[in-house]
Structure 1
Amino acid sequence: MKLLRSERFPAVLLLAAAALGLLFANLPFGPAVLDLSHAHLAIPGTPLDLSLAHWVSDGLLAIFFFGVAVELQYELTTGELSSVRKALQPAIAAAGGVIVPIAVFLLFAGGDPATRDGWPVPTATDIAFALGVLAVFGKGLPSPVRIFLLALAIIDDIVGIVFIAVLFAHDVDLGLLAIGIVLVVVFAVLSRLDAGSRGARVAIVAAMIVVAVAAWVFVLLSGVHATIAGVLLGLAVQQSPGMRARHVLEPWINGAILPLFAFVAALVVIPQVRPSELSPALWGILVALPVGKILGITLFGWLAMRMRPRGTAPTIALPDLVAAGTLGGIGFTVSLLLANLAYAESDAIRDQAILGVLGGSLIALVLSGVIVSLRARHHRLNAASS
């Protein structure tokens, strides 16, 4: 369990799962694996009838987003984003890390109506991978740099969640959504009950699980993407039991849910075509993730440092901002989900967009490993000579 709570091993596991999914899809038995992922599994007596792939992306991934939202709640209330002073610089840098990748993507794919809807895909940062790279290569980086990188990744998570909630809700049934929200409120109330005995605590936890599942069902049926239920529940739960739940769920999220999602999402057949015949969506994402993120985060982060009011966090050197930009280009988990949602109507474009996410994230991963290592070595040498 300790290994699955670390920052390094889950990132390696996630990358291995995606590589395995891509490999399986392109082996002779690949079509059978793809067919299995598309097989439907219904729950008798309910309107729930999803493919295995959607049980993973709509169901299991909601648990991941619950954990993300619990962490967001902590950071927004008592952590690194709890005041405007703390959040200002990483928020400006994160804005650049969203705006510039969108612009880069549209340069490649904006002229094609079939591909332009994928503009949200290169805006995400995979916080698990970013922290993994920091853990492996970032020994010696000063605390302000680490805090800035963490805050930047968290703000990116918020942006990704907003995009999922706003852009990919279709034919929303407001009545069912209202029931889901009421259940979220009930969940919040239950998390705040003062249980005197162990039996009462067990009963409350059991009731919270039942209510959470019901809230997920109603949000799913309402037409809003079901992962938003996990976000709402994570933001609504009282912080103390929420952090305990996140601690319990963390090994399962890192060791099973995210690798399974990465495997399923990466089940893509590599097209046997000339590079000129590939979709603009692939090229847009492939370039926008590493290049757009580096340019956006570095430029906007530098402007934020120049404009910072007195009393805000210390200035971060330009090379450290570049390191932050390379880490931001590792889109992976949320980018894979956004690619699936943006191109849900076109399997061919979706598959190429996923290849763009995997390729762009891999480029950013290699770049970030090199640049973070160099910056960490620079700071270690400075510390040793001072």
Structure 2
Amino acid sequence: MSTPRRPNQSVAEFARFLRTETTGGMILLAATAVALIWANSPLGDSYRAVRDFEFGPELLHLHLSVGDWAKDGLLALFFFVVGLELKRELVVGELSNVRAAALPIVAAVGGMVVPALIALGVGWGEPGIEQAWAIPVATDIAFALGVLALTGSSLPTSARIFLLSLAVVDDLGAIVVIAVLFTASFNMLAAAIAAVALGLYAYLQRKRVRAWWIYVPLAIVVWVAVHSAGIHATIAGVALGLLTRVHTDPGEHESPALRLEHRLQPWSAAVAVPVFALFAAGVELNADALGAVFTSPIPLAVLVGLLAGKVVGILGASALAVRLGIARKPTGTGWLDIGALAMLGAVGFTVSLLIADLALSGEQAELAKAAVLLASAIASLAAALLLIRRSRVHSAVE
């Protein structure tokens, strides 16, 4: 029998998560600035040389560039933490209560479907749009929570939990998109090895085995097998996270999922994601490139999809769900608060950059990433202004 989670424990865990993601967001912002300055400086050729330098064994298709190792390897850690958070939220957290979870789930779905439809509409007929429509479906939880912590300090806790729950569901949607859309080829033998290794991981979790020296090699086997199977390697991290036990045994201080989250989330937020951003965000920005973002169909589709699609999708789906009686507004949170959070949802960044790399190549990929960076910057500033205003209103009411 598991130990029930007390309300103050839930709040403490959320506060810890918020602090870690806030710090990670600041480091991520710094890494992005370094990437942009480096790529657009006289040393730009050295940036591209480092990013494209290849190393690793040819066996099992592991001779990858530095950028690919960051994208396929380091981001697997990020997605493992996402998987842990998702499993915990679905089993014992906010998303385990259907009534309470209804609004962020519906809002997240609206925040994925509407941007995708807008991107398809704007870029219709353009080569590459058949996969590029997925770029604006993602919300960057690190940036979003970072902006919220800095500018929305007086917002009710319910508003913050709404954003966190929405981002978790959004991550699940992005995971499904990556798994389905970007599996070009499929190696049955490698997939079978991955399935057996995942089954062994689940069995060891069920038997309460805690030896890290068993789990680390097993996780590496899963990652290599998933990568060799033709499935994007970050899915390995998600699968392992979802198979990790979230209930505590009698006398156990914290579950394996929570323990791993505490240990690995700082490494994910402060190392894995910033290093990925360092080698993903270094796009060349000049007058021509910025002009092309507004005139070329695919980057324009990404820009409009994020800025308009996210706000309309999240706010519109939320209003419709409440009006139809499917969900209820969080206590103490008004529609203007949800509107500000919806603008914050337009910060795509990490997963959007990843999908842009997977969906496109060459100049198209660079322009799409420039659109992601521009949209994320605009959304961050606009959301910050709205959140500061809402914080003042809540402070005055209190």
Give the equivalent residue in structure 2 for 1:222: 229
Task: Report 1:36-185 matches (<5 A).
Answer: 36-43=50-57, 47-185=61-199
Amino acid at match of 2:377: L
Number of positions where the alignment pairs a residue of Structure 1 with one of Structure 2: 373
2:102/2:326 contact within 8 Å kept: no
Does the residue aligned with 2:196 lie in a helix, a strand or coil? Answer: helix
Query: Aligned pair in 2 of structure 1 residues 270, 176: CA closer, same or farther (>3 Å)?
Result: same
If the length of structure 1 is used for normalisation, what is the TM-score?
0.91
Amino acid at match of 1:89: L
Amino acid at match of 1:130: A
Distance 1:61 1:19 in 2: 19
Return 348-357 or 19-28, whichever deviates more: 19-28
Does the residue aligned with 1:326 lie in a helix, a strand or coil? Answer: helix
Query: How far has the Cα of 1:45 moved from its partner?
Result: 6.2
Give the equivalent residue in structure 1 for 2:308: 291
Query: Aligned pair in 2 of structure 1 residues 185, 97: CA closer, same or farther (>3 Å)?
Result: same
If the length of structure 2 is used for normalisation, what is the TM-score?
0.88
Distance 2:103 2:332 in 1: 9
1:207 and 2:203 correspond: no
Query: Aligned pair in 2 of structure 1 residues 153, 19: CA closer, same or farther (>3 Å)?
Result: same
**Structure 2 counterpart of 1:265, from 269, 275, 280:** 280
Identity among equivalent positions (%) equals 40
Query: How far has the Cα of 1:20 moved from its partner?
Result: 1.2
1:101/1:123 contact within 8 Å kept: yes
Give the equivalent residue in structure 2 for 1:339: 356
Query: Aligned pair in 2 of structure 1 residues 3, 276: CA closer, same or farther (>3 Å)?
Result: closer
2:28/2:277 contact within 8 Å kept: yes
2:88/2:257 contact within 8 Å kept: no
Return 276-285 or 311-320, whichever deviates more: 311-320
Where structure 2 has 5 or more consecutive residues not aligned to the other structure, the ranges are 1-15, 247-254
Distance 2:61 2:280 in 1: 24
Amino acid at match of 1:377: R
**Structure 1 counterpart of 2:323, from 295, 300, 306:** 306
Query: Aligned pair in 2 of structure 1 residues 194, 291: CA closer, same or farther (>3 Å)?
Result: closer
Partner deviation per Cα, 1:286-319 (whole Å, 9 max, x = no partner)? 2221221111111111111212258885484221
Q: Root-mean-square deviation (CA), in Å?
A: 2.2
Distance 1:47 1:99 in 2: 34
1:109/1:280 contact within 8 Å kept: yes
**Structure 2 counterpart of 1:237, from 244, 257, 269:** 244
1:4/1:254 contact within 8 Å kept: no
Distance 1:207 1:376 in 2: 48
Return 94-103 or 217-226, whichever deviates more: 94-103
Query: How far has the Cα of 1:283 moved from its partner?
Result: 1.5
Does the residue aligned with 1:111 lie in a helix, a strand or coil? Answer: coil
Query: How far has the Cα of 1:143 moved from its partner?
Result: 2.6
Amino acid at match of 2:269: N
